């Protein structure tokens, strides 16, 4: 029985933790040997190690299912039931949502449903576009105003306006809640370290459990409709804001804090007058992420009654209208880019203090006055001229069947070539790797992971990683988890192989970065459904198509963090390298990439997170992994089953995250970056 031996190893080699060089290698060698022995001795000797016995399983599905049922039906907070509390929250959320929706889309109505009569029309398309452009002008100058105008113009010209405004209304409600909630949680975590220790795992779960897993309980608690969609969006989009807040507050220079103390600030003044304003730049990064992630949720939100662009994408692709799907998808991208660039400009402007009145005349100096004036003027004009109120039908443009024809052309002419490439990859790489992972004994994998945790971060990390990995097996998810690891693993490798060189190239050539940025923003916000269906047409359903979708999404952090790391390398060190006679290649490999290693590892971490978050989508093209388990549970409204599979995904993410973070911390220490 070699398994127990390898399980015990980490504890018995306590003294070896910081031993350098050959002893470290020896530990790994012995562990690997034990692992191979267990693996090869095979199912004959220890069948339980290959297929977790049903009798030992923790009935987590039943427990969680029962707990959820109790929460929805019987839980009470004093005199009121828990459901009544959540329903009350939903009613509160509904108020700002109705106002936003009335302003942007439906107009103010009297009555309900189809008998309602419009009293005041919604803001006109010209009014909204002009207001956004004015904000752009004041925050970032004429260039930004033009970009924002282009984005909103796109919505009108391609006939996406109505749906886009419905989507915008829910984003406009979800983003402030996400930002404010994230900010408050972040401040609390910064003040009370004990709270932070409890909060971090919760944030990890919020970010990594697939949304489908908690959709059903949310529907029961918050009711069916746009408010439930807003709640789901906030849960998904808030964590980065909290994380960024904690980091930003820690980053406030101690001198400032001392100054605040010297002039006698109260605790409240200290937080709101000193800390938050000086951390504003970093906080805006969080705001930006909340916006991006909220727009990411548009498709899923449309499944539970939010409507808007997400619904259009789904409906178009169900009738295989690739062009219409792409247009609606690009409308989401246009909204994302406009909102993102606006928020970034406001962050930059806040950093530069009195930037207002930098030219551009009255409108740039007094954007809010001008905006109100424009809104009033266009609304009045809209009553007289229908073309001002809503974009004229006759001037709308569509790509029509162009994209469907393009895919058809590729399909008819290149299918065989693509099929050959796909088959070669499938038969030589994907299938063997999948078989390899499926055949590994779970106690061996758990032990190896724990050992890695021990070497990188000590006993605590070893226990953490080991317990999480064991729980995946103990809840009966091991087999599906291995398929998940296989899909994500291969996707992450491919994404890194493509993304890191692009990141390097983009930093070496200055002009290129702007374009790369547009491409990765597009990839991050374009609903993957849009390119998934053409991919199915060219590659059939199955793992290969799933991997394409995952890579397309997960490549963005690989590029982004590579570029970030390389840009941060101290130019003096590069200069020194050049003076010492290094070739450009040597500068890149020996200096830049080495110094950027912590960021590269962070990029890898995020690539894995992004890949895991695409799992549910891959289930839509027929993979058999945890994502599919979550999806099946959703369709059967089986809350327990969905949450257990969702937690297994979260555990995989947390294991990868903790190991890589520990590795990055060690690297930073070795390079003297801390």
C-beta of 154: minimal distance to other proteins in Å? 23
CA distance 93 to 223: 12
State in angstroms the smallest separation of the CB of 4 from other proteins: 38
54 vs 319 by CB, closer to other proteins: 319
| Cα–Cα distance, 190 to 184 (Å, whole number) | 10
76 DSSP assignment: E
Cβ-in-10-Å burial (0-12, 13-18, 19+) of 456 comes to buried
Report how far residue 328's alpha carbon sits from residue 526's, in angstroms, rounded to the nearest whole number: 9
Whose Cβ is closer to other proteins: residue 127's or residue 534's? 534
Pairing outcome for strands 108-110 and 80-81: unpaired
User: Taken in order 22, 26, 29, 35, is the CA torsion positive or negative?
Assistant: negative
How far is 249 from 628, CA to CA, in rounded Å? Answer: 40
Question: What element of type H or E holds 59?
Answer: none
Q: Is 93 or 591 the residue whose CB approaches other proteins more closely?
A: 93
Q: Which is nearer to other proteins, 1 or 637 (CB)?
A: 637
Least distance from C-beta 161 to other proteins, angstroms? Answer: 17
Q: Which is nearer to other proteins, 608 or 615 (CB)?
A: 615
Residue 407 vs 504, nearer CB to other proteins:
407
As measured in angstroms, the least distance from the Cβ of 297 to other proteins is 14
Enter the tokens of residue 270.
């200290």
The pair of structure tokens assigned to 391 is 């974009």
CB of 541 to other proteins, least distance (A): 5
Alpha carbon distances (Å) from 292 to 350, 490, 524, 557: 21, 26, 8, 13
Specify whether the CB–CB gap between 38 and 2 falls below 8 A.
Answer: yes
Q: How far is the CB of 130 from other proteins (least distance, A)?
A: 30
Centre a 10 Å sphere on the Cβ of residue 230 and count the other Cβ atoms it contains. 27
Least separation in angstroms between residue 91's CB and other proteins is 12
Q: For residue 186, what are its two tokens? A: 């972040």
The tokens for 611 are: 């890949």
Q: Say if residues 109 and 116 touch (Cβ distance below 8 Å).
A: yes
Minimum CB distance to other proteins smaller for 108 or for 415 = 415
Q: Which helix (H) or strand (E) holds 481?
A: helix 478-508
Residues in touch with other proteins (CB under 8 A): 111-116, 215-216, 219-220, 223-225, 302-307, 311, 314-315, 317-320, 408, 411-412, 415, 419, 423, 426-427, 529, 532-534, 536-538, 540-542, 618-623, 628, 631-632, 634-637
| Shortest Å, Cβ 326 to other proteins | 14
- Write the secondary structure of 101-120 as one string of H (helix), E (strand) and C (coil): HHHHHHCEEECCHHHCEEEE
- How many Å apart are CA 241 and CA 250, to the nearest integer? 14
> Which of 69/280 has CB closer to other proteins?
69
User: Least distance to other proteins from the beta carbon of 127, Å?
Assistant: 27
Indicate the helix (H) or strand (E) that contains 80. Answer: strand 80-81
Shortest gap between Cβ of 132 and other proteins (angstroms)? 26
Nearer to other proteins, 67 or 315 (CB): 315
> Least distance to other proteins from the beta carbon of 115, Å?
4
Inter-residue contact 294 to 175 (CB < 8 Å): yes
Exposure of 412 by Cβ count < 10 A (0-12 exposed, 13-18 middle, 19+ buried)? exposed
CB atoms near residue 586 (< 10 Å): 14
For residue 478 the two structure tokens come to: 């091991």
What's the closest the beta carbon of residue 219 comes to other proteins, in angstroms? 4
Q: In the structure encoding, which two tokens stand for residue 416, read together?
A: 């065989």
Specify the residue, 408 or 435, whose C-beta has the smaller distance to other proteins: 408
Give 524 or 628: the residue with its C-beta nearer to other proteins.
Answer: 628
**Nearer of residues 83 and 343 to other proteins, judged by Cβ:** 83
Q: What is the DSSP letter of 272?
A: I
**Token representation of residue 58:** 């923790």
Q: Which two tokens stand for residue 435?
A: 């078989």
Instruction: Give the nearer residue to other proteins in terms of CB position, either 303 or 350.
Output: 303
- Cα–Cα distance, 494 to 555 (Å, whole number): 9
Q: Cα 180 vs. chain centroid, distance in angstroms?
A: 19
Nearer to other proteins, 274 or 633 (CB): 633
The radius of gyration computed from the CA coordinates of the chain, to the nearest angstrom, equals 27
What's the residue count for the chain?
A: 674
Identity of the residue, 462 or 621, whose beta carbon is nearer to other proteins in the bound complex = 621
Q: Residue 532 and residue 510: Cα distance in Å, rounded?
A: 32
CB of 210 to other proteins, least distance (A): 14
Nearest distance, CB of residue 636 and other proteins, angstroms: 7
Rounded (10°) angle between helices 280-296 and 226-237: 130
- Complex with other proteins: residue 276 or 315, whichever CB lies closer: 315
Least distance between other proteins and beta carbon 397 (Å)? 16
Cα torsion angle, 128, 134, 140, 146, sign: positive
In the complex, the smallest distance separating the C-beta of residue 535 from other proteins, rounded to whole angstroms, is 9
Residue 230 contacts residue 100 (beta carbons within 8 Å):
no
């Amino acid at each position: 029985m070699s398994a127990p031996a390898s399980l015990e190893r980490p504890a018995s080699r306590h003294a070896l933790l910081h031993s350098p060089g050959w002893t470290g290698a020896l530990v790994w060698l012995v562990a690997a040997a034990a692992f191979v022995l267990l693996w090869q001795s095979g199912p004959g000797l220890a069948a339980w190690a290959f297929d977790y016995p049903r009798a030992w399983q923790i009935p987590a599905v039943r427990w969680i299912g029962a707990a959820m049922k109790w929460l929805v039906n019987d839980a009470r907070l004093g005199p009121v039931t828990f459901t009544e509390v959540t329903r009350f929250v939903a009613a509160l959320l509904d108020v700002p949502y109705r106002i936003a929706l009335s302003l942007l889309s439906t107009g103010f109505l009297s009555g309900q449903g189809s008998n309602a009569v419009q009293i005041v029309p919604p803001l006109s398309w010209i009014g909204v576009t002009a207001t956004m452009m004015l904000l752009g002008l004041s925050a970032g100058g004429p260039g930004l105003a033009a970009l924002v105008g282009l984005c909103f113009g796109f919505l009108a010209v391609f006939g996406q306006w109505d749906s886009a405004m419905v989507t915008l209304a829910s984003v406009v409600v979800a983003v402030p809640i996400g930002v404010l909630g994230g900010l408050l949680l972040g401040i609390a975590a910064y003040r009370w370290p004990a709270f932070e220790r409890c909060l971090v795992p919760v944030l990890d779960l919020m970010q990594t459990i697939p949304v489908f897993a908690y959709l059903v309980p949310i529907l029961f608690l918050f009711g069916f409709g746009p408010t439930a969609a807003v709640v789901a969006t906030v849960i998904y989009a808030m964590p980065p804001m909290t994380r960024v807040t904690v980091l930003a507050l820690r980053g406030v220079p101690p001198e400032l804090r001392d100054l605040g103390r010297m002039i006698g600030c109260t605790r409240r003044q200290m937080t709101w007058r000193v800390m938050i304003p000086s951390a504003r730049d970093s906080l805006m990064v969080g705001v930006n992420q909340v916006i991006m992630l909220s727009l990411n949720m548009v498709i899923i939100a449309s499944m539970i009654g939010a409507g808007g662009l997400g619904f259009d994408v789904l409906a178009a692709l169900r009738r295989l209208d690739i062009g219409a799907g792409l247009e609606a998808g690009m409308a989401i991208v246009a909204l994302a880019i406009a909102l993102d660039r606006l928020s970034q400009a406001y962050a930059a402007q806040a950093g530069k203090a009195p930037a207002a009145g930098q030219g551009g005349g009255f409108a740039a100096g007094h954007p809010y006055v001008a905006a109100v004036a424009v809104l009033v003027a266009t609304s009045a004009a809209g009553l007289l001229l229908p073309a001002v109120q809503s974009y004229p039908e006759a001037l709308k443009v569509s790509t029509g069947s162009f994209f469907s024809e393009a895919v058809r052309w590729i399909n008819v002419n290149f299918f065989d070539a693509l099929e050959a490439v796909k088959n070669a990859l499938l038969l030589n790489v994907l299938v063997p790797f999948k078989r390899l992972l499926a055949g590994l004994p779970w106690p061996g994998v758990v032990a190896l992971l724990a050992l890695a945790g021990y070497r990188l971060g000590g006993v605590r990390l070893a226990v953490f990683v080991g317990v999480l990995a064991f729980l995946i097996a103990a809840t009966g998810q091991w087999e599906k988890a291995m398929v998940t690891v296989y899909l994500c693993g291969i996707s992450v490798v491919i994404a890194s192989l493509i993304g890191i060189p692009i990141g390097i190239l983009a930093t070496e050539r200055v002009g290129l970065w702007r374009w790369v940025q547009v491409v990765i923003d597009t990839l991050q916000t374009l609903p993957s459904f849009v390119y998934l269906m053409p991919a199915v047409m060219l590659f059939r359903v199955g793992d290969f198509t799933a991997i394409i979708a995952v890579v397309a999404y997960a490549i963005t952090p690989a590029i982004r963090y590579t570029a970030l790391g390389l840009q941060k390398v101290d130019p003096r060190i590069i200069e020194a390298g050049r003076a010492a006679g290094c070739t450009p290649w040597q500068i890149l490999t020996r200096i830049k990439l080495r110094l950027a290693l912590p960021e590269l590892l962070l990029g890898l971490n995020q690539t894995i997170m992004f890949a895991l978050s695409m799992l549910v989508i891959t289930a839509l093209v027929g993979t058999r992994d945890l994502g599919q388990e979550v999806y099946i549970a959703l369709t059967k409204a089986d809350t327990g089953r969905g949450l257990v599979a969702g937690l297994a995904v979260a555990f995989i993410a947390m294991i990868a995250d903790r190991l890589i973070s520990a590795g990055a911390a060690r690297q930073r220490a070795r390079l003297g970056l801390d």
